[in-house]
Amino acid sequence: MSPSMAAETACYPSNALPSARDPFSNASFVNGNLIASYAAATTNGGGVNAGSSKHLSTSNGLLSTTYSNGSSVPAATPPSTPSLQGVVTPPPHIFSNGSSFPNPIATKGPTSSAINGSSNTSNIKISSMSNSHGQASQSNGTLSSMTQPEVTAPQRPSLWFEEDLGESLRWSFGLKRILHTGVSKYQDIALLDTEPFGKVLTLDGRMQSAQIDEWVYHECLVHPALLLHQGPRSIFIAGGGEGSTARECLLHKSVRKVVMCDIDEEVVKFCSAHLEVNKVAFESSKLELVINDAKAELKRREERFDVIIGDLADPLEWGPCYTLYSQGFYQNVVKPRLNPNGIFVTQAGPAGVLSHREVFTSIYNTLKSVFTYVVAYSAHVPSYCDVWGWVVASDQPLMSQMSSDELDRRIVQRIKGGQLRYLDGPTLYASTILNRTVRESLENEKHVYTEESARFVYGHGRIPNSATH
């Protein structure tokens, strides 16, 4: 234990800390930072007031203390709730299982609890109360009626990942374990084994892709553009360090060369070592891997490409990618590097009813100012907790010149294996039929994305070290 941790823990009863056997009991990853939460309990002799959940968090190697009341000062001790004999009852809306439902719980062994302003270190048994209809009843802050036989509740995950999606919105899911972590000069990297989504890659505490549904995102990003092209042979990927976009491109029989250009060598090395699903792509002789800024690389090259794909991180205010969503980048860098009849496609951020105006409509309108034909489409990606958007653009007609049946024929003829997991002709056409709210926003959008008037996806607020230098 570090000296700073030892100094912090001195304020707590020893039984209020996670056990040495399970150092992450009651812990969370909040925006990529490990949070260890300890229930602050009082005894008759004083100490930290009950009702103040104290959090010890590590950020950039520093330990900080925060209370659940948003202050550095613990909340005043609330009046205790009377308990029925032999049973500890939680105050209203606060249950020991972390839920708003009083699931019956049985605990064994020494336990520390901050329930009703008391501290218990003996064997505590928390049971639900039920009335004659089998339902828990509550009156004036107390639970009443007969005690039912003890039932052990299912065990909840003790380790959680949390990502801020907005000022007052947080996305959270249970973790099994932390598989790998790394740090580059651009961002923090983590590979997590999660309960609902399998292996998950996060960068700077933000979800990038999940094993259970990454193929939905990557099929939607890659295949519409390649299928709409008459016969793509050369592909340039801006970003895409995890290798999934290259994997999907290499499914096309006509493709002869895929250039994947990512600025972060550590991410590429990390993903090639730990994401087994993309091993074949990284080993393909058709893949040319370049570590460079995508804008600089496209400017440097003299060759042109049939398709250019923007598989970039979201435009965050402190991130390295937001300039690659600008009108200047599309007009002066991307378009000159496309072959005649070439196609550009980019991921365009959240496209849900409540989130589409963050950047989706702006990116669409910006591409309309550069290309003749522009199509926006979307799909639900469960691990992103939202509908996601993409925009494809060209100076040649796109969807209007091709039927759903023709797209299906191209999939059979061009794709290795003759089919995709998510996309087919009808699905692709359906993805372009956006709901009325989003359609009207696209039609009415006037903003053009420039470096001086950039819009951003909500970030978690942590400024990467690289942005401070």
286 alpha carbon, distance to own chain's centre = 31
Q: What is the mean pLDDT of the chain?
A: 75
Distance between CA atoms of residues 100 and 270, nearest Å: 39
Question: Please, what are the domains in the chain?
Answer: 3-67 (no CATH), 85-154 (no CATH), 159-209 (2.30.140.10), 213-468 (3.40.50.150)
Distance between CA atoms of residues 333 and 301, nearest Å: 10
Could you tell me the CA-to-CA distances from 280 to 43, 146, 210, 250, 442 in Å, in that order?
60, 62, 18, 10, 39
Active site residue 306: no
At residue 154 the predicted structure's pLDDT band, cuts being 50, 70 and 90, is: low
What are the φ/ψ torsions at residue 468 (nearest 5 degrees)?
-95, -5
Q: Which of 213, 293, 311, 386 is catalytic?
A: 311
Instruction: For the chain, report the end-to-end CA distance as a whole number of angstroms.
Output: 31
At residue 100 the predicted structure's pLDDT band, cuts being 50, 70 and 90, is: very low
At residue 136 the predicted structure's pLDDT band, cuts being 50, 70 and 90, is: very low
Bridge partners (DSSP) of residue 181 are 190
- Which comes out higher in pLDDT, residue 215 or 127? 215
Distance between CA atoms of residues 297 and 34, nearest Å: 36
pLDDT attached to residue 120: 35
pLDDT attached to residue 167: 82
**What's the rounded mean pLDDT across residues 146-168?**
75
At residue 148 the predicted structure's pLDDT band, cuts being 50, 70 and 90, is: low
Q: Strand 27-30 relative to strand 159-166: parallel, antiparallel, unpaired? A: parallel
Q: What is the pLDDT of residues 375-431, one digit of tens each?
A: 999 999 999 999 999 999 999 999 887 899 999 999 999 999 999 999 999 999 999
Distance between CA atoms of residues 364 and 442, nearest Å: 7
Q: What is the pLDDT of residues 24-48, one digit of tens each?
A: 334 444 444 444 333 333 333 333 3
Q: Of 140-154, 193-207, 215-229, 399-413, where does mean pLDDT reach its minimum?
A: 140-154
Q: Tokens standing for 449?
A: 């994305």
Distance between CA atoms of residues 214 and 359, nearest Å: 21
What are the φ/ψ torsions at residue 148 (nearest 5 degrees)?
-85, 165
- Among 211, 205, 220, 157, CA closest to 383: 211
- CB-based burial label for 69 (10 Å; 0-12, 13-18, 19+): middle
Distance between CA atoms of residues 68 and 37, nearest Å: 10
- CB-based burial label for 198 (10 Å; 0-12, 13-18, 19+): middle
Q: Tokens standing for 444?
A: 């009415």
Distance between CA atoms of residues 350 and 357, nearest Å: 8
Angle at alpha carbon of residue 123, lines to 117 and 125, rounded to 5°: 75
Could you tell me the CA-to-CA distances from 138 to 51, 135, 141, 144, 331 in Å, in that order?
20, 10, 6, 6, 65
Q: 442 with 365: CB under 8 angstroms?
A: yes
